[in-house]
Amino acid sequence: MLHVLTRRVYRRLFLAQVVALAGTGLATVALGLLAYDLAGVDAGQVLGTALAVKMVAYVVVAPLAAAAVARLPRRAVMVGSDVVRLLVAGSLPFVGEVWQVYVLVFVLQAASATFTPTFQSVIPDVLDDEEEYTAALSLSRLAYDLEAVLAPVLAAALLLVVPSAALFLGTAVGFGASALLVAATVLPRRGAENAGDGPRMPFGERVRHGTRLVVRTPALRPVLALNMAVAAAGAFVIVQTVVVARSTFGQGEAVVALLLAANGVGSMAAAVALPRVLRRRPERWVMVGGAGLLTAATAVVPLALAAPSAGVGLTAVAGLWALVGLGWASVETPVGRIVRRTIPAADRPAVFAAQFALLHACWLVTYPLAGWLGTAVGLPATALVLTALAASATTAAALLWPRGRTPAAAGPARAEPPVRS
């Protein structure tokens, strides 16, 4: 899998992603501390609202941004997004009101909703070999998981020597480094800059173009359902882990971190194995199987919560969280392969933006559902409701999946020669 890092252009882009994610991880920790400084015991409410603002920014901004920047060079778009994120991160230490946090979080995530789909659309043009592209998808997944696992450790180490507000400066440094790496990279010309109708469409049409392609492409319809399966199981893990550890089993904060780390370990295991697995098995087998695995793991949660001792229960929950992570990565990682194979290069930025927005629309539904149900009916019943939602989505994906080999996209199979953009 690591052999793909010998490709200089991809290596620089991957390093840009890693340093930006490191900055994002520091910001996550710093936001929690800032929320407590501003709101005290109501910090959870502030963070919950900030999370909702983040999802709204992703859902609303991604397709709008893809349409707005369709005529612009992708390198300039990514560098500009990083500069905006740098400025926002540098401003966060100086806020004094909760509403200012919400505004800055929205701007920060709007920039991320512009950067991420653009970044995703570049990689298939940089790596025209499917095995190399699959390795890149797995590395990207590993980067996200390592950010979730290691960023809190890095933040804790920094907090030994600097005040919490300085973590935002670390975030700004990460985004600045990402901008410099992207600016120093020669990107391939995208098809949309040479041919295709996407950039020439009216703005309103461009906004809808990616979503329309996702819905009309048979190979991508199952992904819409699988997005909901991932969000249903993932929301329970993310929202209720703290309740499981602290209230159900009476453990401390360290156990919360360990349970979430177990989820990350499962996801990383899948990312490492997928390049080899996808050489032998089609995406349908991997993705629907992954959704089935995370559904089954969520279904067993009530049994783990009823364990006779905290040790047994926590061990079972950690194992289930790892299985959810394994299934989660198995569903999400191969999506780029399907987009690359079925969507012409000119339309990929719009489709990646649409997939980004549609996935987070599912999270926008399941995050509050997991939270509200947990309070209203308890954790076991909440797990079963989300299991039913994930099972329904998985079944729909299996039924929607087209039979036979996924057709290739129209247009040239290989990327255009590199040019300065």
Give residue for tokens 């969280």: 321
Instruction: Give the residue-averaged pLDDT of 58-67.
Output: 85
pLDDT digits (tens, 9 = 90+) for 316-368: 999 999 999 999 999 999 999 999 889 988 888 889 888 988 998 999 899 88
φ, ψ at 404 (rounded to 5°): 85, 180
pLDDT of residue 413: 38
pLDDT digits (tens, 9 = 90+) for 245-295: 888 898 876 788 788 888 888 998 998 899 899 989 999 999 999 999 999
DSSP codes of every residue in 233-266 = HHHHHHHHHHHIIIIIS---HHHHHHHHHHHHHH
Instruction: Give the residue-averaged pLDDT of 44-51.
Output: 71
The 8-class DSSP code of residue 401 comes to S
pLDDT band at 419 (very low <50, low <70, confident <90, very high): very low
The answer to whether the predicted template modeling score (pTM) of the entire model surpasses 0.85 is: no
Q: pLDDT exceeding 70 applies to what percent of the chain?
A: 89
334, HSE (Cβ side, Cα atoms, 13 Å): 29
Closest to 356 measured CA to CA, from 20, 108, 113, 145: 113
* CA 351/CA 343 separation, integer angstroms: 8
Q: pLDDT exceeding 90 applies to what percent of the chain?
A: 40
* CA 110/CA 271 separation, integer angstroms: 27
70, containing H or E segment? none
Q: Which of 138-147, 223-232, 273-282, 408-417 has the lowest mean pLDDT?
A: 408-417
Average pLDDT taken over every residue of the chain: 85
Instruction: Give the residue-averaged pLDDT of 364-378.
Output: 87
Over 60: is that where the pLDDT of 408 sits? Answer: no
Instruction: Give the residue-averaged pLDDT of 144-162.
Output: 75
* CA 21/CA 34 separation, integer angstroms: 19
pLDDT band at 223 (very low <50, low <70, confident <90, very high): very high
